[in-house]
C-alpha cells in the first residue's frame, strides 16, 4: 500500500477499535507511578551545567558509562551520551543529591504523571474504558493527585477484610511520599558544545533520571495480594510494569528472588479465578543486566502473554538472552537493522513463550504474534493502527484527555522514513519466501510458526514531548487487542 492507501486503512482501524473498545470490561494496571519533573533542554543549558563541573572528568566518565547517577558528573556524562545518539535511556539514582542539584541548577518546566502504570492508567481512563483498576504500592496523597479524577479509574483498598475499589484520592496513604523522576527532553537539531566536541542532537528524545528511594518495593500488600483472585475474575487484561526497580539485595536481607517470586505469584493470583486473563508487561531501559535477565527469564517467560518495548530495549533483551551479535546489529545504524529487529523479535517471542511482542520504533511498529493468538491478523493490524493514531495525538497535543482527542492523530503524517524502513524488511521477507509482496504490502504476514504485523507509523515533527509515548503505544494497542478478543466472545 502507498501512503494514501495506508491513510484509508488507518481510518478503518480507528473506526473498528472505536466500535469495539466498549466491549472491554476491566483492565488492571500495576505497579509504578511517579511524578515526572520535565525539563526541555534549550540552547546553552548544557553548557551552563558543564561550567559547574570539571569537563575533563565528564569526558572520562563518558568512557566509563555510569549505570547509576551518583553525581552531577555522572548525570552530565549520560546526558551527553543520550543527546549524541538521540537515544532514550533511564538511569537510576539512589540518593536525593542529584534531585537537589537539578532543582538548584536546572529548574523543571512541568510536573506530570509519570511511570508506566501511572501514564497508562490515565490514558485508558481518558479513553472511556469501562473500568481501569490501578494499583500503586506507594500511593501517596501527592501521587494520587496526578491520577485523572474519573469514575472509571479506581484503586483497590482493603477495609475490615473486604476489598473496595475507591478513587485514588481516597485510597492513598499519607505515610507515603511522592517519588519524583527528572525527565530531560531534548529536541532534534539542538547543538551542544563541550570540550573540543560539538553534539547535534539527531532526534527528539529524553533521558530519565529514575529516583529509587530505599522504601521502593515492587510488591503488593498481603491484603491486596490475597484479594487478587476476586478482583481478577472480572478483569479482561492486566498491564504490569515497574520491575526495573527490583534490586539484587535489600537492607533487610531480602534479595531480588523474593520480589521476583512475589511478582510471579501475583500473576498467578490474577489467573486463579480467571485463567483467560491476558497479561501484558511494558518493558523499559534496565541498566542492571542481572535484573534485566531475571525479569525476562523468571517473570516474563511462561507467565506473560504480551510484551511491549522499543528498539533499544529489544537489543538489550537479546543481549542478556545470549544473542549478542543480533543485539548489536539491531542498534547499529546499518541498512539491515530492521531485519535484525524483526529476527530478534521472533527469538524473543519463542524464547519467552509469548503470544505477542509489540516493538515500537520511530516511524514503524512490528508485532510478531504466535499462531494461537485469539484475534485474526486484520484485527491485530487495527490495534496497531489505533495505537499509532493515539500516540501521534499524544505527541501532537501533549496528552489524551478523551477518546475524541485520539482522532487528531489521523491528521499526523505517516512517516516516509518508516515506509522506507519497512520496504527493506518486506524485501527480506519476500526473498526468504516468508510471504508474497501483496501480503507484505497489506501489513499482515502469516508464516508457518508465527504471524507478523508491520505498519508505518504516524510521526509528529515537533512533539510536545516524547516521554510516555511508548507506554501510550503499547497500552492502546493492548486495549484494542482485548477489545478484539471481547468482540469475538460476544459474536
Ligand atoms: N514525534 C513522535 N511522533 C510519534 N511517535 C513518536 C514520536 N517520538 C517517539 N515516538 C514513538 O514513541 C516511542 C518511544 O517509546 P519509549 O522509548 O518506550 O518511550 P516511553 O517508554 O518513554 O514511553 C518511539 O519508539 C516511537 O515509536
Ligand atoms: O522506573 P521508574 O522510576 O518507575 O520510571 C519510569 C519512567 O518511565 C516512564 O514511565 C516513561 O516510560 C516515565 O514517565 C517514568 O519517569
Ligand atoms: Mg517505553
- When pLDDT is cut at 50, 70 and 90, the band that residue 197 belongs to is confident
Cell of 31: 505497579
User: What is the Å distance from ligand 2's center to 212 Cα?
Assistant: 11
184 C-beta closer than 6 A to ligand 1: no
Task: Examine the pLDDT at 490 and tell me if it is beyond 80.
Answer: no
CB 210 near ligand 2, within 6 Å? yes
Q: Is the pLDDT confidence value at 82 over 90?
A: yes
Q: Whose CA is nearest to atom 3 of ligand 2?
A: 210
- Tell me if ipTM is over 0.90: yes
Q: Give tens-digit pLDDT for 425-447.
A: 999 999 999 998 888 999 999 99
Q: How far is the CA of 173 from the centre of ligand 2 (A)?
A: 21
Answer whether 391's CB lies under 8 Å from 458's CB: yes
Per-residue pLDDT tens digits for 16-69: 999 999 999 999 999 999 999 999 999 999 999 999 999 999 999 999 999 999
- Closest atom of ligand 1 to CA, residue 119: 23
pLDDT of residue 350: 97
- What is the pLDDT at residue 99? 93
282 is in an annotated binding site: yes
Taken in order of first residue, the domains within the chain and their CATH numbers are: 1-31+217-486 (3.40.1190.20), 34-111+177-209 (3.30.1110.20)
Q: Which atom of ligand 1 is nearest to the CA of 471?
A: 23
Ligand index nearest the alpha carbon of residue 114:
2
What is the predicted pLDDT for the residue at 128? 92
Q: What percent of the chain has pLDDT over 70?
A: 100
491 pLDDT higher than 80: no
Residue 463 beta carbon below 6 angstroms from any ligand 1 atom: yes
**313 carries a ligand binding annotation:** yes
* Nearest protein Cα to ligand 1, atom 15: 470
Q: pLDDT higher for 489 or 486? A: 486
What is the per-residue pLDDT for 13? 97
Q: Which residues are catalytic?
A: 471
Task: Tell me the average pLDDT across 339-364.
Answer: 97
pLDDT digits (tens, 9 = 90+) for 4-17: 999 999 999 999 99
Lowest mean pLDDT among 240-254, 301-315, 322-336: 322-336
CA of 469 to the centre of ligand 3 (A): 7
* Residue 361, ligand 1, Cβ within 6 A: yes
**Residues within 5 A (CB) of ion ligand 3:** 470
Ligand 2 pocket, mutate which of 240, 467, 470, 475 (most atoms under 8 A from CB): 467
User: From CA 459, how far away is CA 61, in angstroms rounded?
Assistant: 34
Average pLDDT over the chain reads 95
Terminal-to-terminal C-alpha distance of the chain: 30
- C-alpha 367 to ligand 3 mean position (Å): 15
The answer to whether the CB of 426 is under 6 A from ligand 2 is: no
Cα separations (Å) of 74 from 49, 64, 196, 248?
A: 12, 10, 19, 22
**pLDDT at residue 439, as a whole number:** 85
The residue whose CA is least distant from atom 15 of ligand 2 is: 115
- Which atom of ligand 2 is the closest one to the Cα of 467? 11
For residues 226-244, average pLDDT: 96
Query: What is the Å distance from ligand 2's center to 94 Cα?
Result: 15
Atom 7, ligand 2: which residue's CA is nearest? Answer: 115
CA nearest neighbour of 98 among 217, 243, 213, 244: 213
| Residue 418: C-alpha distances to residues 152, 380, 464 (Å) | 36, 19, 20
pLDDT of 128-179, one tens digit each?
999 999 999 999 999 999 999 999 999 999 999 999 999 999 999 999 999 9
Amino acid at each position: 500500500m502507498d501512503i494514501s492507501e495506508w491513510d484509508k486503512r488507518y481510518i478503518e482501524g480507528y473506526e473498528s477499535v472505536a466500535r469495539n473498545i466498549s466491549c472491554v470490561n476491566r483492565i488492571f494496571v500495576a505497579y509504578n507511578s511517579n511524578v515526572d519533573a520535565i525539563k526541555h533542554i534549550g540552547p546553552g543549558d548544557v553548557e551552563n551545567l558543564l561550567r559547574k563541573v570539571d569537563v575533563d572528568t565528564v569526558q572520562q566518565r563518558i568512557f566509563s558509562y555510569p549505570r547509576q547517577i551518583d553525581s552531577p558528573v555522572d548525570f552530565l556524562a549520560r546526558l551527553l551520551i543520550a543527546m549524541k545518539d538521540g537515544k532514550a535511556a533511564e538511569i537510576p539514582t539512589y540518593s536525593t543529591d542529584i534531585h537537589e542539584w537539578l532543582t538548584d541548577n536546572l529548574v523543571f518546566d512541568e510536573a506530570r504523571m509519570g511511570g508506566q502504570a501511572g501514564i497508562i492508567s490515565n490514558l485508558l481512563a481518558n479513553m472511556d474504558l469501562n473500568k481501569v483498576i490501578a494499583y500503586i504500592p506507594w500511593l501517596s496523597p501527592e501521587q494520587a493527585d496526578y491520577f485523572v479524577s474519573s469514575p472509571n479509574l479506581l484503586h483497590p483498598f482493603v477495609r475490615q477484610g473486604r476489598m473496595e475499589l475507591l478513587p485514588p484520592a481516597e485510597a492513598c496513604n499519607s505515610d507515603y511520599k511522592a517519588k519524583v523522576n527528572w525527565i530531560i527532553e531534548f529536541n532534534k537539531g539542538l547543538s551542544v558544545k563541550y570540550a573540543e566536541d560539538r553534539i547535534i542532537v539527531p532526534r527528539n528524545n529524553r533521558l530519565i533520571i529514575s529516583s529509587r528511594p530505599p522504601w521502593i518495593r515492587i510488591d503488593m500488600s498481603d491484603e491486596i495480594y490475597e484479594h487478587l483472585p476476586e478482583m481478577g475474575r472480572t478483569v479482561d487484561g492486566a498491564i504490569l510494569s515497574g520491575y526495573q526497580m527490583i534490586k539484587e539485595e535489600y537492607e533487610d536481607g531480602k534479595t531480588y528472588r523474593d520480589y521476583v517470586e512475589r511478582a510471579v505469584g501475583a500473576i498467578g493470583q490474577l489467573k486463579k479465578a480467571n485463567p483467560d486473563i491476558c497479561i501484558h508487561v511494558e518493558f523499559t531501559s534496565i541498566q542492571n543486566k542481572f535484573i534485566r535477565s531475571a525479569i525476562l527469564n523468571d517473570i516474563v517467560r511462561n507467565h506473560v502473554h504480551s510484551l511491549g518495548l522499543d528498539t533499544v530495549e529489544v537489543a538489550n533483551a537479546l543481549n542478556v538472552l545470549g544473542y549478542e551479535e543480533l543485539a548489536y546489529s539491531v542498534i547499529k545504524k546499518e541498512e539491515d537493522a530492521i531485519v535484525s529487529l524483526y529476527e530478534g523479535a521472533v527469538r524473543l517471542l519463542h524464547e519467552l513463550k509469548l503470544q505477542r511482542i509489540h516493538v515500537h520504533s520511530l516511524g514503524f511498529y512490528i508485532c510478531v504474534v504466535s499462531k494461537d493468538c485469539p484475534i485474526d491478523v486484520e484485527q491485530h493490524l487495527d490495534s496497531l493502527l489505533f495505537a499509532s493514531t493515539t500516540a501521534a495525538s499524544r505527541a501532537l497535543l501533549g496528552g489524551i484527555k478523551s477518546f475524541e482527542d485520539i482522532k487528531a492523530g489521523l491528521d499526523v503524517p505517516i512517516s516516509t522514513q518508516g515506509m522506507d524502513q519497512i520496504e527493506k524488511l518486506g524485501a527480506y521477507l519476500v526473498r526468504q519466501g516468508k510471504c508474497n509482496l501483496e501480503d507484505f504490502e497489506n501489513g499482515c504476514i502469516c508464516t508457518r510458526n508465527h504471524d507478523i504485523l508491520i505498519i508505518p507509523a504516524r510521526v509528529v515533527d515537533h512533539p510536545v514531548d516524547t516521554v510516555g509515548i511508548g507506554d501510550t503505544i503499547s497500552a492502546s494497542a493492548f486495549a484494542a487487542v482485548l477489545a478484539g478478543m471481547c468482540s469475538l466472545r460476544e459474536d
